[in-house]
Amino acid sequence: MNQSIFRAYDIRGVYPTELDEKSAEKIGQAFATFIFGTDSAKKRVMKFGEEPIIAVGGDVRLHTQRLKGNLVSGITSTGAKVIDFGILPTPLLYFAVAHKRLDGGVVVTASHNPKEYNGLKLCAASGVCLSWDTGIKSVLDFCSGTSKVGAKHGEYTIANIVEDYKHFISTKINLHWLEKLKVVIDGGNGVCGNLAAEIFESGGCDVVKLYCEPDGNFPNHEPDPIKKSNLKDLQKSVLENKADLGIGYDGDGDRVAFIGPDGKPIESYVVLSIFSKEMIKNKPGAKIVFDVTSSKTVEDTISGSGGVPVQSRVGHSFIQSKILFDGCDLAGEHSGHYFFKENFGFDDAIFASLKFATLVAKHGLDNLTKDIPLYITADEVRVFCNDREKFDIVEKLKVDLKNKYETVEIDGVKAKVESGWFLIRASNTVPALGIRWEAKTQEDFDKIKGIIQCCIAKYGLDTNW
């Protein structure tokens, strides 16, 4: 088995050269073995005399169903029971685990990656996403060692969680505000466009659907709304339809991007700042999480509104843990993931888009964005660096930089410089270093870019960007 597919917060690789059916079955068996050792599973055995119950689901990729079939075989070989929730957004799988009080879950998806990729996202009881330290390494160890074999195969059943999810949404968000809006929804031919449109329409919203038909070939654009090139059709449609808001989802429904009525993207740090102001207004002193790649706009907004800013490393499992275990109320990543404590603490693009749309309907986008401090912010630059070397290079950069600048090292190395900052980190999903920087003035912005290029040039990395 290719061990490089086991990453910081999920399992992901190219199908079938890196991740195939045999691997999926082995991982299923290993994951179930891990779940047998959790408190939730032990309580189920002691209280009810039942084996653990594990939820499975998947996205619309062309190889997802094949991988899922072998995944299920691996899980049930341990004696664990499986409930198959079919094709659904990743957040709905997490919701199913939390709502139905199951012992764990696996969704077959490569999220926003191109069509040749697939992967597995793992969660334990309560929909708690697993990271390398909290479970993924253990699953790899079981794959490499000995996994449990049950006396008999576990039961396999099929279920649907959509109606439960829609009811839950209606108890958390006043959908009637949506009747004031016209929105364009770009589903990216992924798994959640039609469901999102249905929920918006249930609130009386005028919805224009764009690429909401599920298609694992992703024929119109890659299922990643954070790449500006993937938003062009959505921007055009917002202008043509004179819509109040454009909403773009990724392939599995855990990240989202927004377009304003002027056809321009609303940056994720502005969205999180808006969410933060609203949260703090309702709960003064609220603790709000942002990742190390986020603009200083977010930190300034949280502090200026009377909240407590909390910085985290990148990754849904790491950020969710801040909400579940550190008493935080809201979180967001620069990559368009938003986490709400009231929604079990996981990242859910449909939930976040409904929240944002209702705020726009109540207050107007101009009112929401005024007084938010802005900086000159670079889009992430990804510089190719193979998986074998990228982490070592980052460690060397930490040594290079900490003697020159004040640094933060919770995820790569983030250096504070006069009038700005820059971050160099190893991507957890692709063979690359992710680079971002920010400054108050264009002169300082260009100066910081030059500093970064000098830093990475000594390691033979591309500086032509």
Tens-place pLDDT, residues 86-132: 999 999 999 999 999 999 999 999 999 999 999 999 999 999 999 99
- DSSP 8-state secondary structure symbol assigned to residue 117: E
**Confidence at 76, pLDDT banded by 50, 70, 90:** very high
Strands 287-291 and 156-158: unpaired
- The residue written with tokens 């260009």 in the block is 446
Helix (H) or strand (E) holding 256: strand 256-259
Q: Which residues contact 260 (CB under 8 A, 6 or more apart)?
A: 238, 245, 246, 266, 365
Domain 3-163 - what CATH class?
A: alpha beta
What pLDDT, in 10s, does the model give residues 299-349? 999 999 999 999 999 888 899 999 999 999 999 999 999 999 999 999 999
Per-residue burial over 43-57, b = 16 or more CB atoms within 10 Å of its CB, e = otherwise: ebeeeeeebbbbbbb
- DSSP 8-state secondary structure symbol assigned to residue 348: -
Q: Of the candidates 463, 420, 465, which has an alpha carbon nearest to the alpha carbon of residue 443?
A: 420
pLDDT value for 281: 98
Q: Which residues contact 132 (CB under 8 A, 6 or more apart)?
A: 6, 7, 8, 9
For the entire predicted model, the pTM comes to 0.94
Mean per-residue pLDDT for 401-416? 96
Residue 274 has pLDDT above 90, yes or no: yes
**Confidence at 426, pLDDT banded by 50, 70, 90:** very high
Token digits for 339?
Answer: 């986490």
Concerning whether 111 is annotated as a catalytic residue, the answer is: yes
Coil/strand/helix, residue 193:
helix
pLDDT value for 151: 85
What pLDDT, in 10s, does the model give residues 41-60? 999 999 999 999 999 999 99
Look at the domain 376-457 and name its fold: TATA-Binding Protein (3.30.310)
What pLDDT, in 10s, does the model give residues 198-216? 999 999 999 999 999 999 9
**Confidence at 8, pLDDT banded by 50, 70, 90:** confident
Token digits for 60?
Answer: 């619309």
What pLDDT, in 10s, does the model give residues 440-450? 999 999 999 99
**Confidence at 77, pLDDT banded by 50, 70, 90:** very high
135 φ/ψ angles, rounded to the nearest 5 degrees? 170, -35
Q: Of the candidates 124, 116, 62, 117, which has an alpha carbon nearest to the alpha carbon of residue 87?
A: 62
Q: Which of 204-218, 259-273, 306-320, 356-370 has the lowest mean pLDDT?
A: 306-320
Look at the domain 179-263 and name its fold: Alpha-D-Glucose-1,6-Bisphosphate; Chain A, domain 3 (3.40.120)
Q: Of the candidates 270, 276, 280, which has an alpha carbon nearest to the alpha carbon of residue 336?
A: 270
With contact defined as beta carbons under 8 Å apart, do 302 and 289 qualify? Answer: no
Domain positions in the chain: 3-163, 179-263, 268-369, 376-457
Coil/strand/helix, residue 254:
coil
With contact defined as beta carbons under 8 Å apart, do 140 and 4 qualify? Answer: no
Residue 428 has pLDDT above 90, yes or no: no
What pLDDT, in 10s, does the model give residues 122-173? 999 999 999 999 999 999 999 999 899 988 999 999 999 999 999 999 999 9
Q: Is the dihedral of CA 195, 200, 201, 202 positive or negative?
A: positive
pLDDT value for 317: 87
> Does 376-457 match 179-263 at the fold level?
no
Q: In whole angstroms, what is the distance from residue 116 CA to residue 100 CA? A: 33
Give the active site residue among 40, 111, 268, 317.
111
Residue 429 has pLDDT above 80, yes or no: no
Token digits for 357?
Answer: 């749309």
Q: In whole angstroms, what is the distance from residue 290 CA to residue 299 CA? A: 8
Q: In whole angstroms, what is the distance from residue 135 CA to residue 124 CA? A: 9
User: Span 268-369: which CATH code?
Assistant: 3.40.120.10
As a whole number, the mean pLDDT across the chain is: 97
Give Cα separations from 455 to 54, 396, 416 (angstroms).
46, 10, 14
pLDDT value for 315: 86
Over pLDDT 90: what percentage of the chain?
A: 95
Residue 185 has pLDDT above 80, yes or no: yes
Q: Of the candidates 86, 93, 108, which has an alpha carbon nearest to the alpha carbon of residue 28?
A: 108
